[in-house]
Chain A
Amino acid sequence: MMKYITILIISFQFIAFSQETELSSSEATKFRAMVEKGTKDLKSIKTDFVQNKHMEFLTNDIESKGKMYLSAEGMLRWQYTEPNKYSIIFKNEKIYIDDNGKKSTVDGDQKMFQKISKLISGSVKGDLFDDDEFDIRYFKKGDNILVKLTPKNKAMTKYISKVVLTFPKNDSTVSQVKLIEPSGDYTLITFKNKQLNVPIDKSVFSH
């Protein structure tokens, strides 16, 4: 009997932990102010990431690993290291691609890349709270704060139906970005070994 009661208590605790509750308006304002204050003086971000693509018909997610570098000037290097070496630098409205040593440049007219660049850098930096661009709702889940952004822009909704940012407790930068597609499939990016305001060598953003 005791065994069942213990299981029941653990189950309730698990349910309570995994439940999402929406923040009140004042809690959301307070959280937003904390993020904006924390990222205002942000000079750079250097982090590892794990990218998991989930598709409804696959048993296993497709995993890629890499590193991300973001400078205060808005330069972004998104570098895959596993299983393939491939990096993309977003700099001065241009996209520089290094495909395992084969280099190419694309003028910044590739809308999807630009959107993703803005989305990633914006979400990591915390300046994605644009009420004109997104419907934004704030939730608490365990110790984390989840920010759910639904794009208002029709062009963007073709690619992404929702973005969910996960902020660990008292952290002004995200630990996870979930990009949900109109089909329900999603890409989950988890940042690890994040370093803020560390010097990043200029060569990281050179092509």
Chain B
Amino acid sequence: MFQLTRAYLVISLSLLSLFACKSYQIDGELVSKDVEKTLVLPYFNETGFEYLYSGKIEAYGNSLNGILVVKKISETQKRVALLSDFGNTLMDFKIENGEVEVNYILEDLNKKIIVKKLKKYFELLVNSEYQVEAIYKKEGENIYTSKFQSKRVKLHENSSGTIQQVKQVSRLKEKVEIEYFSTSDIADSIHFKSNEIPFEMKYYLRE
């Protein structure tokens, strides 16, 4: 009797968790899957170009103004640095072949958990290439799915063929949203928002 009750409870709880946590669905009609296509985002993809943005990071109620510097050094390497308005370096990362190396980080930011998040977020922010897995369509716009940092990524392409939105999703929800506002291959402004932790970045191209 006891064994039967336990089995019933296990099954009930399993079913409950299955229905309560509805897995994340792509909002669109599947057009094709098993696609072999590489999607290239233009925003930080010109070798040698020095991308400079002004803006701020807001995290856990703190605000950090400053300058974002991104440079594609070679086909395989990018550098990302954050500076304060006074010019002092707050962090300087080297991204190469899926590895993010810390060249410098201000001691106040040098906490394991902060470094881990910053590495992940900045690598995603400046990534230019995605291997497409499937294509969906919604109201005339394409949604591509891919994988990055072992998580699913959705890339929204507008009707003029520009990728303007990148979302990293887990099995259940959207973790990170990035919006690139642009009229050319250089984003005029970037909005990055995390849904995992209170973390937001807004950057505007320096003229």
**Residues of A near any B CB (own CB < 8 A):** 51, 53, 55, 57-60, 62, 64, 78, 80, 83-84, 86, 88, 97, 99, 104, 112, 116, 158-160, 179, 181-183, 185, 187
Q: Using an 8 Å CB-CB cutoff, how does the interface string of B42-64 with A read, 1 for contact, 0 for none?
A: 00000010101010100000010
Please, how many angstroms separate the alpha-carbon atoms of A160 and B89 in the complex? 10
Closest to A113 in B: B86
8 Å CB contacts to A: which residues of B64-116?
A: 65, 67, 69, 71, 73, 79, 81, 83-89, 92, 103-104, 106-107
Interface residue B147 (Cβ < 8 Å from any Cβ of A): no
Interface residue B173 (Cβ < 8 Å from any Cβ of A): no
Contact indicator A187/B86 (Cβ below 8 Å) = yes
Please, how many angstroms separate the alpha-carbon atoms of A44 and B135 in the complex? 65
Contact indicator A62/B107 (Cβ below 8 Å) = no
Contact indicator A99/B65 (Cβ below 8 Å) = yes
List residues of chain A with CB within 8 A of the CB of B107: 158
Closest to A59 in B: B50
Closest to A155 in B: B107
Contact A55:B54 (CB < 8 A) given known A84-B206, A99-B65, A183-B104: no
20 contacts between A and B (CB under 8 A): A51-B86, A53-B83, A55-B81, A55-B89, A57-B71, A58-B69, A60-B50, A62-B67, A83-B207, A86-B85, A88-B85, A97-B65, A99-B56, A158-B106, A158-B107, A160-B88, A179-B87, A181-B104, A183-B103, A185-B89
CB distance from B24 to the nearest CB of A (A): 36
List residues of chain A with CB within 8 A of the CB of B48: 59
List residues of chain B with CB within 8 A of the CB of A62: 52, 67, 69, 83, 87
Please, how many angstroms separate the alpha-carbon atoms of A64 and B106 in the complex? 22
Q: What secondary structure prevails in chain B residues at the interface with A?
A: strand
Contact indicator B69/A112 (Cβ below 8 Å) = no
Closest to B71 in A: A57
Contact indicator B206/A183 (Cβ below 8 Å) = no
List residues of chain A with CB within 8 A of the CB of B106: 158-159
Contact indicator B88/A58 (Cβ below 8 Å) = no
Please, how many angstroms separate the alpha-carbon atoms of A47 and B59 in the complex? 35
List residues of chain A with CB within 8 A of the CB of B69: 55, 58, 62
Please, how many angstroms separate the alpha-carbon atoms of A55 and B207 in the complex? 19
Q: Which 5 A-B pairs have the closest CB atoms?
A: A187-B87, A53-B87, A83-B206, A84-B54, A83-B207
List residues of chain B with CB within 8 A of the CB of A187: 86-88
Please, how many angstroms separate the alpha-carbon atoms of A53 and B81 in the complex? 12
Interface size on B, residues (CB 8 A): 27
Please, how many angstroms separate the alpha-carbon atoms of A78 and B87 in the complex? 13
Closest to A87 in B: B85
Closest to B63 in A: A104
List residues of chain A with CB within 8 A of the CB of B206: 83-84
Contact indicator A183/B50 (Cβ below 8 Å) = no
List residues of chain A with CB within 8 A of the CB of B63: 104
Please, how many angstroms separate the alpha-carbon atoms of A182 and B69 in the complex? 19
List residues of chain B with CB within 8 A of the CB of A51: 86-87
Contact indicator A183/B92 (Cβ below 8 Å) = yes
Please, how many angstroms separate the alpha-carbon atoms of A104 and B64 in the complex? 12
If A57-B79, A59-B48, A182-B104 are given as contacts, then 13 extra A-B residue pairs at C-beta distance below 8 Å, sorted by A number, are: A55-B92, A58-B71, A59-B50, A80-B85, A83-B207, A86-B65, A97-B65, A104-B63, A116-B88, A158-B106, A159-B88, A160-B88, A183-B103
List residues of chain B with CB within 8 A of the CB of A64: 85, 87
Please, how many angstroms separate the alpha-carbon atoms of A88 and B88 in the complex? 16
CB distance from A112 to the nearest CB of B (A): 7
Contact indicator A83/B83 (Cβ below 8 Å) = no
List residues of chain B with CB within 8 A of the CB of A57: 71, 73, 79
Please, how many angstroms separate the alpha-carbon atoms of A160 and B187 in the complex? 33
Please, how many angstroms separate the alpha-carbon atoms of A64 and B86 in the complex? 9
